[in-house]
A and B are shown apart, each in its own frame.
Chain A
Amino acid sequence: MSDSLIVTEKLCKTYSSGGNQQHVLKNLDLTLQNGDFTVIMGASGSGKSTLLYALSGMDQPTLGSIIVNNQNISKLNQDQLALFRRKHCGFIFQHINLLDHMSVLDNILASGLLVSRDKKNVVKRAKELLLKVGLLEKDWGKFPSQLSGGEAQRVGIVRALINRPQIVFADEPTGALNSSSSDAVLDILSSFNEHGQSIVMVTHDLKTALRGNRVLYLRDGVICGDLSLDSYYNNNREQRQHQLQAFLNEMGW
């Protein structure tokens, strides 16, 4: 049985604009387990991305606490959060966000060398991961503008994994990809999850959500549904799809 990875207590996030306050997350109590592939779903504006950014230390909550490995990250300042992210988190973005002026390899090393000074080993791991996600040596010197969307997102995944993070946060990682590229990217994520990598992913796509073993449904800043599924590799995909479909129907999706 997996142990607790992230625990939130009374987590709130409020945005203020022109005197108006918008409560995006409302008193969320949530526990995420180590090794899980957690999927966060919900309608547009339900607070999915806000929750993801709060859990990952990309943004600070307005109220409440977020405990990661017994460390309350809600009390950390920007720089402490940066140190937390580089040690514990990996990020995969919908718009990939590779650095335009760096090659594929440099994009990964810009993250890897930030944590480890052992350049030789970091470079070795980067190359191994690149090969693992199907990017051959001829692609390593390319710039992001010379890659297809799928290829770029695979670089994004390698970048997220280079520092062996405890958790990988993925914000609609296939949102900007075509169907075949999406499958390839999701296969990579599933494969890493199978090897014990914790993943928290935001999506509004049923097919993508099927990769998770836990699905949280958010509505108006509150978790109104929490579904546990078998592992993606347990060969009972049809049953899982029915389960998820029923859950989402119940949630009014």
Chain B
Amino acid sequence: MKLWNLALSNMKGSRSSIISLFFMIMIASILLNVSLTIAIKMNTFFDNKFEQLQEPNINLLLDRSDEQQVYYDYIKQDPRVAASEREAVIWAAGRFSYGENDMSIGIAVQQAEQDRQLSPIKLVEQSSEPEVTNGIYVPYDFKLNAGYQLGDSFTLHIDDQSFHYTIAGFFESAMMGMHNTGILKFYLPEEQFIKLEEHTADHGVLYSIKLQDSGQITGFLNDFTGEFPDPPGRSASAPLFTTLDSDIVKSVGSMTINIITMILMAFALVIIAVALIVIQFRVSNHITEGMNNIGVLKALGYTSYQVMLSILLQFVIITLSAGVLGAAISYLVLPVFGSVVTTLSGLLWSKSFLPLINLISIALILLLIVLVVVMSSLRIFRLPPVVALRGGIITHNFKKNRFPLDKAKGPLQLLLACKTTLTNMKQNLMISVIVTAITFASVFSVVLYYNIGKDKTAFIHLVGAETSNIMLQITDAADYEQILTSLEQMEHMTKVAVLDMTSMKVDGQSFYMNMSDDYSKLNNQLVYEGRYPKYDNEIAVSWVVASALNKTIGDMVEVEAGELKSNYLITGLSQSISNLGQMTYITVSGAKQVLPHYEGTLLNLYIEGVDNTSFIQQLKAQFGHDITNIIDVTDTIQSQSKIYTSAVFTVMVTVLVITFLVVVLILYLVIKKMILQRKKELGVLRSLGYTTFQLMSQISLSFLPVVVLSVLLGGGLGAIYTNPLLSVLLTGAGVRNVQFIINIPLILFVCIALILLSYVISFLVSYGIKKITTRRLMIEE
């Protein structure tokens, strides 16, 4: 009880610093609870969703005309398959309005009323009107990211035909429910479905396969495509089977969420570190200032352990109350990040109460704080009462009179501020560490936002997309050479590059294979070590593939497509987030070793001085018969990257707001303490005739050098280490070498804003001295 009283009396004397500490621990608790909850729930989020929505592990799509009975028979007879379904669908390259842009993507249109065991339609919202004319059911992602509402009109463009519908409902689906996996599905009522089927030639079949064990996906797909390879002469960009599996869906859906979670967690740790530094500072000050009291307590018979416990107890009280409140508030904040998860995955985030995570978060923070308090108060044990009663051993170690006023150049206020700065080195070190850390975090988040929200080139390259303007798919029958020459001669055309993708076996394992006539033409140079292949016996592989094959640059690999095999020399290692980072690259001439009839069919066009839409019209007019599909790449990238922009924006705002709060809290804490400690000195200066403004300027200026240096240090570290740190964070996603644009003016802007903010905050907090009269400043301790 007496310790409790001592702890309470300790707390009474320093209300403002306790409040700021309380807020800091609360913020740390909120961040830690949110990030841990998301991290732990994300582990099972997709698996639970797949279970809940009865999703298959694999979707296989093919043209109905290509279907053979043996395909589905094979699936049904495979012992690894737990359940399967076959369904007639419309399988086409579709285009529609998505947000402010158009999106071109592979679409599978299914019949809404059909009975399904796998992936039954699960509507999140549906029109209350019993019969919607021309109704269509679209993924929930369309509401979240494209702004569609029930009853909105929706136009689907397939093969130059436009089909007009009204949105009758939004459904939730893990497979083909999110555009970032490259395929989207829609549902049409029977009547509309039949009508669409009559008007298009894109009749397809969808196989949905549920395996006994989701770990068998790769094995099953390898065996299936091995059993039924693409027939010779088939265009590489239009394989027989288009596949989508749950591993890809999880990987694509969780990548950004994982990055966000990691950033939040890292930031929570930064805040905890800040709180720990502040506590260390406070305990240390408490002991120094309360030395006499400690002496009295010891003289009265309190043991060192009891004195330390009385100090510890106050921090335990603060931590527990702030930690619990933070955990409670995290439940209010979680929906914000839940909606980010929903935005990125297209799947609904459900609220849940996770007391164990809350307990772990609070216990973690408490443990760290107890450790710091105990470490900082160990010197109490070394203090005999008599020494403590004498105020401890205070040695004045003024080796040098810094900034002597008779010699130093500069305004008096500045010189006095410099003296103060050098006198409070310990405190300055604390501020320096904190400001450096939060500047780094701010720069990191701003760089992230700049690259994902503003200049997206580096991010798009990271994802693996080629940033051409238009993608043109030509028919197999077209004269490739002639079209290529004509294209290159078109006005506004800067370059044309072939970039096809298919699936091939490399040393017996299936991987995605890129094929280009000249990789040096591509804007997105993904090889980070060595080089892209130049000759027909060369290959570049991603480091994920290299690791899987246990090969590296200079080794040979065997590539197999259908019945033909050939050996290639690895010339480079690449990185890519897409397709789980499993990428390989050969030249068009190299591809002919295993696909003798192969000609490039997917052409990337790079134009200048003309808008994409009018150029597309021009292409249609000139090459109409030879084209199977045209994609406005700029538009597609713009619409697809929107979801990342909003997610990263949320993170950036969170980090910046917390940075602001931390700067305010820290400066408030330190300056309040400083005013208390320097009360007498400030009183003397006032008696000498210094005005409140001059004293406020002096206090603010005294923080400026350390703030400026720390902000510049944090900014510099942010500029240098954001890419390496992102590379580490994204290793699991297939990235080794992130090359985000480090926008120096933007970083400088953040740094200057932080410096100004610190100065203004210092100035405002030090305004508190105005309320104290000169005499009170001097006589009150």
Contacts and interface: CB of A to CB of B under 8 A. Distances in A.
B680 interface: yes
Interface string B386-430: 000000000010100100111000001000100110010000000
A86 B690 CA distance: 7
A115 B689 contact: yes
A246 interface: no
Contact of A86 (B404, B689, B775): B689
Interface string A96-121: 01111111011001110111000100
B773 A110 contact: no
B689 A82 contact: yes
A8 interface: no
A69 to B, nearest CB: 16
Given A78-B692, A111-B688, A123-B406, A58 B416 contact: no
Nearest to A127: B406
A155 B244 CA distance: 86
B269 interface: no
A112 B416 CA distance: 13
Interface stretch (A139-147, A195-203, A223-231): A139-147
Interface residues of A, number: 40
B689 A106 contact: no
A58 B688 contact: no
Interface in B682-728: 683-694
A83 interface: yes
Contacts of A164: none
A101 B404 contact: no
Nearest to B403: A106
Contacts, number: 98
A126 B773 CA distance: 29
B404 A114 contact: no
Nearest to B413: A114
A64 to B, nearest CB: 17
A79 B692 contact: yes
Contacts of A87: 689
Given A59-B773, A143-B396, A79 B688 contact: no
B650 interface: no
B409 to A, nearest CB: 10
Nearest to B422: A101
B778 interface: yes
B691 A82 contact: yes
A114 B405 contact: no
Contact of B687 (A85, A101, A113, A141): A85
Contact of B405 (A58, A109, A146): A109
B612 interface: no
Contacts of B688: 85-86, 91, 110-111, 114, 159
A159 B688 CA distance: 9
B289 interface: no
Given A59-B774, A97-B778, A106-B405, A82 B419 contact: no
Given A102-B401, A102-B419, A145 B690 contact: no
A160 B535 CA distance: 89
Contacts of A247: none
A53 interface: yes
A93 B692 CA distance: 21
Nearest to B396: A145
Contacts of A60: 773
A157 to B, nearest CB: 14
Contacts of B690: 82, 86, 114
B770 interface: yes
Given A78-B774, A105-B404, A110 B692 contact: no
Contacts of B687: 56, 58, 85, 91, 97
A103 B412 contact: no
Nearest to B424: A101
Interface string B421-461: 00100000000000000000000000000000000000000
B681 interface: yes
Nearest to A120: B406
A87 to B, nearest CB: 7
Interface in B668-688: 680-681, 683-688
A99 B681 contact: yes
Contacts of A82: 686, 689-692, 694, 774
Nearest to A112: B405
Contacts of B686: 82
Contacts of A58: 687, 773-775
A111 B694 CA distance: 13
Contacts of A123: 406
Nearest to A82: B691
B398 A83 contact: no
Question: Which of B405, B416, B681 is the most central at the interface, judged by chain A CB atoms within 10 Å of its CB?
Answer: B405
A96 B637 CA distance: 73
B561 to A, nearest CB: 79
B405 A53 contact: no
Interface string B647-684: 00000000000000000000000000000000011011
Question: Which of B416, B419, B681, B689 is the most central at the interface, judged by chain A CB atoms within 10 Å of its CB?
Answer: B689
A222 to B, nearest CB: 21
Given A58-B774, A101-B398, A79 B691 contact: yes
Given A59-B773, A114-B689, A97 B680 contact: yes
Nearest to B423: A101
Interface string B533-577: 000000000000000000000000000000000000000000000
Contacts of B773: 58-60, 78
Nearest to B683: A97
Contacts of A99: 681, 684-685
Given A85-B688, A97-B684, A114 B412 contact: yes
Interface string B512-543: 00000000000000000000000000000000
Nearest to B777: A58
B575 to A, nearest CB: 55
A81 B687 CA distance: 9
B404 A78 contact: no
B406 A119 contact: yes
Nearest to B778: A97
Question: Which of A59, A82, A100, A110 is the most central at the interface, judged by chain B CB atoms within 10 Å of its CB?
Answer: A82
Given A101-B398, A145-B396, A113 B405 contact: yes
A106 to B, nearest CB: 5
Nearest to B416: A110
A105 B680 CA distance: 20
Nearest to A156: B684
A55 to B, nearest CB: 12
Question: Which of B396, B404, B688, B778 is the most central at the interface, judged by chain A CB atoms within 10 Å of its CB?
Answer: B688
Given A82-B686, A100-B681, A159-B688, 14 more contacts: A56-B687, A58-B775, A78-B770, A84-B689, A85-B687, A85-B689, A86-B689, A87-B689, A97-B687, A97-B778, A109-B405, A109-B406, A141-B404, A143-B398
10 contacts: A78-B773, A85-B688, A89-B689, A99-B681, A102-B401, A102-B419, A105-B405, A106-B404, A110-B412, A111-B688
Top 5 nearest A-B pairs by Cβ distance?
Answer: A86-B689, A109-B405, A103-B401, A101-B423, A79-B691
